A and B are shown apart, each in its own frame.
Chain A
Amino acid sequence: DAGITQSPRHKVTETGTPVTLRCHQTENHRYMYWYRQDPGHGLRLIHYSYGVKDTDKGEVSDGYSVSRSKTEDFLLTLESATSSQTSVYFCAISPGQGLNNEQFFGPGTRLTVL
């Protein structure tokens, strides 16, 4: 398995609170991604990173921010969580030029916003 861990694995929080999810890799891959997975929508890209301090928006980036201060860590922050952000969040990594290559996924974080 690719060396990807996510923390926490489960979290329950209340509307309006800030939440940070962490993705850690041991593969030294350049590209890292955050997705959310919801029934009926499949996997949707939130943000991605193509290097330290280099990030860009995906298709569902509103309400989310990211940071990457080290190659191995990619953080996803919900500044003020809403119930619509209840979802399963997956981190993925990719070698080389990410869009031409397969992605390797972490185990996921199940987030519930009450």
Chain B
Amino acid sequence: EDQVTQSPEALRLQEGESSSLNCSYTVSGLRGLFWYRQDPGKGPEFLFTLYSAGEEKEKERLKATLTKKESFLHITAPKPEDSATYLCALSGSSASKIIFGSGTRLSIRP
């Protein structure tokens, strides 16, 4: 069965303090691994799609990487506006759906 586990559940950082969020997964035939950002009271906002191990994508202070078992969302010199819940999701070849993790709640203190 395809599974996605995100850690930590919550992370508090000081502004400018870089860190990484983890998404561990098991899947039979990865079609795509997705990262989303969700602000309170809003729908998830698409950030990145990764398709194969070794792939990396960047957007502003965020960089997503992928291995055969994990994906990391690296945040460099975060600002308070980066505070949100970050969701990882994946699509596998054996399932007709996308599976979402429970998310990491990121809080950046000024």
Contact = CB atoms under 8 A, between A and B. Distances in A.
A43 interface: yes
Interface of A, helix, strand, loop or mixed by DSSP:
mixed
Interface of B, helix, strand, loop or mixed by DSSP:
strand
Interface in A36-61: 40-45, 48, 56, 58-59
A103 B38 CA distance: 13
B97 A59 contact: yes
B91 A102 contact: no
Nearest to B88: A42
Interface residues of B, number: 21
B96 A56 contact: yes
Interface of B: 31-32, 34, 36, 41-46, 49, 87, 89, 91, 96-98, 100-103
Interface of A: 40-45, 48, 56, 58-59, 90, 92, 99-108
A50 B41 CA distance: 27
